[in-house]
Amino acid sequence: MRGVVFALLASLAWGLAPILFKLGLRAEVSNLLALIIHNFSAFLLAFALYTFMGQSFQIGLRELVFVSLGGLLSGFLGLFFYFEAIRNGKVSLVAPIASTSPLWSALFAFVILGEGLSLQKVAGIVLIVLGITLLTLSRQ
């Protein structure tokens, strides 16, 4: 039950964030400055909470490399593209399309991690693609 509650809270946060991004990017703020502010504010909060909880700063080199690469992909490159999409598109169209990351995660997990693709996963991927198609067509 705890996982479901946190998943719903994450969904709520991720659902509201694009609205705030759109409002913040209206004044022709550069994507790079927006990324600096976004990541710095996230860093400060994470650092404060981590320190407050008294956790040690230990991580293996392999884990550091993978987490850093994931951060570069999601926290920089993904957000850079997302900010550009939010700036130039409608949030109601852009946010759902950008939220198709589970589609890519399932495919990459199959190819890179060797995870299986069940009938349910394939059906979910098909539904995601159909949903994007409907959203795109509704824009015209």
Q: What is the pLDDT of residues 98-129, one digit of tens each?
A: 888 888 888 899 999 999 889 998 898 888 88
**Whole-angstrom distance, CA of residue 91 vs CA of residue 19:** 7
pTM of the prediction? 0.80
Average pLDDT over residues 22-50: 92
How is 67-113 classified by DSSP, letter by letter?
HHHHHIIIIIIIHHHHHHHHHHS-HHHHHHHHTTHHHHHHHHIIIII
User: Residue 80 corresponds to which amino acid?
Assistant: F
> Residues 132, 100: contact at Cβ < 8 Å?
yes
How much is the pLDDT for 103?
A: 83
**Whole-angstrom distance, CA of residue 93 vs CA of residue 73:** 22
Token pair recorded at residue 75 = 């926290």
